[in-house]
């Protein structure tokens, strides 16, 4: 008897949240993409460091720096947070989609 494949082991995986919805929510309000994914602590950590680095760069930036230059540290963490939330959502969605394809192929073979 064959051992079941790790891909087909789980029965009826629920459809994960759409990665584009996570992307839009992460862009509009920092940290919400991670909250939608069930990783609220990770979202809060990104938000905390965004505020801390934004504050730090605003204190050390020269007075003639632009708005983006003054808060560059916060904007950098914001961009990383958006990318991270989208990446996690995309990997979950593609993994789910692959499992569905494998299951349907197995059902067609049976």
Mean pLDDT by 10 residues, the chain (110 residues): 50 85 95 94 95 94 90 94 97 94 80
For the chain, the first-to-last Cα distance in angstroms comes to 16
How many residues make up the chain in this entry? 110
- For residue 1, the model assigns a pLDDT of 44
- For residue 2, the model assigns a pLDDT of 46
Query: Which of 8, 22, 4, 23 lies closest to 96 in space, CA to CA?
Result: 8
- For residue 9, the model assigns a pLDDT of 52
Q: DSSP state, 29? A: S
- For residue 63, the model assigns a pLDDT of 87
Domain boundaries, the chain: 19-109
Quote the Cα angle for 18-99-1, to 5°.
160
């Amino acid at each position: 008897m064959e051992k079941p494949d790790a891909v087909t082991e789980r029965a009826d995986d629920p459809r994960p949240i759409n990665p584009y919805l996570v992307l839009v929510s992460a862009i509009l309000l920092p940290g919400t993409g991670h909250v939608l994914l069930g990783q609220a602590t990770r979202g809060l950590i990104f938000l905390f460091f965004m505020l801390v680095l934004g504050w730090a760069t605003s204190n050390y930036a020269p007075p003639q720096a632009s708005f983006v230059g003054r808060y560059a540290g916060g904007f950098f963490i914001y961009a990383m947070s958006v990318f991270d939330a989208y990446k996690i959502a995309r990997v979950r969605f593609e993994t789910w989609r692959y499992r569905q394809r494998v299951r349907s192929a197995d059902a067609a073979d049976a």
